[in-house]
Amino acid sequence: MQTRMEGTFSSRHRLIADIVLHPVVQIAVILWVVAHVAVVLLSGGSLPFDRPALAEIPFTVQLASPTLGMVEIFLLMGVVHWLTRKRVIPDIAARAPARSVAARETFGLLAYAVAGQIGGWIIGPALGYRPFSFHIAGTLFGCSTPPSQGEIWTWAIYNFLIFAVLPYLWFRRRYDATELNLRSTNRRNDVLVIVVVCLIESAFELGVFEGGLLRLDARQILLGAPLAFALFFIGTVLPTMVLIYAILIPRYLKLTGSATTTVLLGGLTYAFMHLVEGWSAFDSPSDTVLSLIFVVLGYVGPGMIKTFITLRTGNAWVHALGYHAIAPHVIIDTPLIVQAFGIR
């Protein structure tokens, strides 16, 4: 028994050491530090963003928040690893085509994603709204001018069609649901991961974001929470799941041969799909750089945990339900939907 336990601890220590010493991880840590130094130099001690939820938070706390959030994400990765320790981990790379085809599909889909983002930046203002990203203005942090109902519906439908429906239909012609990470290979374990992750993340967000939907009365929660779930599910959860975690992640793993690199690429891709957020400021070069830095700092971590969950379960639905649809978009964003739709 003692020998077995020592072997288990030794294996875990080797795994952690391999990750920490991975060149990509070391580069990421250096860039993380450089980004924080750049924020200090460019900001002058204040941030130009339209984020009412953080307006009274000291600059130092706002600067530290992404790192503290990353710590929580690493702890959550440990929980997911423990929950999935006894299951057969699916070979995600085997679900992708040959490397040459995977490379062509990856670069083609990324180019399509760029075009889709640019389209959202054009169509939103053309209709009298703000530029569309993977989040509607006001998501997570609120905004000084809440989105209208028309803006929310247009944003959700645009993202759903461009980033979920069309990529799914294109790739579904050649790949089945399993190859697209859309079919469970262990339903009981998938449900366990969904429930545990959702409970932990929901509790964390309710504490950090001062109650979220709990600030609402019973009627507002009863009407607003399902509406928030539905709108964000079609507007960002499904687009994220299909574009990144059903299609790109198996190809990233096929091309890199490294789960660590794939997790980082998944995080970067997720951040890339949020380049123009409702709170972003582009009034000057320094504001633009600060906005882009905070997009990366804020979204790489969530993208990484989504990737990690997908790699451990082989099922993109698990992250979508456990770490996206409910927490954060019901927990935090129900008040935004209640306000926009005038629910009293």
Average pLDDT, integer, range 157-177: 99
Looking at the predicted structure, is the pLDDT value of residue 17 above 90?
no
Select from 259, 266, 256, 253 the least CA-distant residue to 319: 266
Confidence band of 12 (pLDDT split at 50, 70, 90):
low
- DSSP character string of 172-194: HTTS-TTTTT-S-S-HHHHHHHH
Residues 342, 217 contacting (CB under 8 angstroms):
no
| Nearest to 265, CA basis, from 292, 280, 247 | 247
- The answer to whether 313 touches 189, Cβ cutoff 8 Å, is yes
* DSSP string computed for 10-41: HHHHHHHHHHHT-HHHHHHHHHHHHHHHHHHH
Q: How confident is the model at residue 2 (pLDDT cuts 50, 70, 90)?
A: very low
Hey, what are 223's tokens? Answer: 């009407």
What pLDDT is recorded for position 3?
A: 44
Distance CA 241, CA 315 (A): 10
Distance CA 248, CA 224 (A): 33
Q: Kindly state the average pLDDT of the residues 172-193.
A: 98
Residue 24 reports pLDDT greater than 60: yes
Which of helix, strand or coil describes residue 88?
Answer: coil
Q: Residue 7: pLDDT band by 50, 70, 90 thresholds?
A: very low
pTM: 0.94
From residue 239, alpha-carbon distances to 99, 108, 192, 220, 325 in Å are 25, 17, 24, 27, 12
**Helix, strand, coil shares of the chain as percentages rounded to 5?**
70, 0, 30
Q: Residue 209: its pLDDT value, please?
A: 81
Of residues 83, 27, 13, the one with CA closest to residue 260? 27
**Separation CA 321–CA 306 (nearest Å):** 10
Q: Which residue has the tokens 């262990």?
A: 186
Kindly tell me the burial class for residue 14, based on how many C-beta atoms sit within 10 Å of its own C-beta (0-12, 13-18, 19 or more): exposed
CA–centroid distance for 216 within its chain:
25
The mean per-residue pLDDT over the stretch 126-141 comes to 96
Q: Which tokens is 30 given?
A: 């250096």
Instruction: Name, in order, each residue with C-beta under 8 angstroms of 300's C-beta and a sequence gap of 6 or more.
Output: 264, 267, 268, 270, 271
Pair 132, 155: CB distance under 8 Å: yes
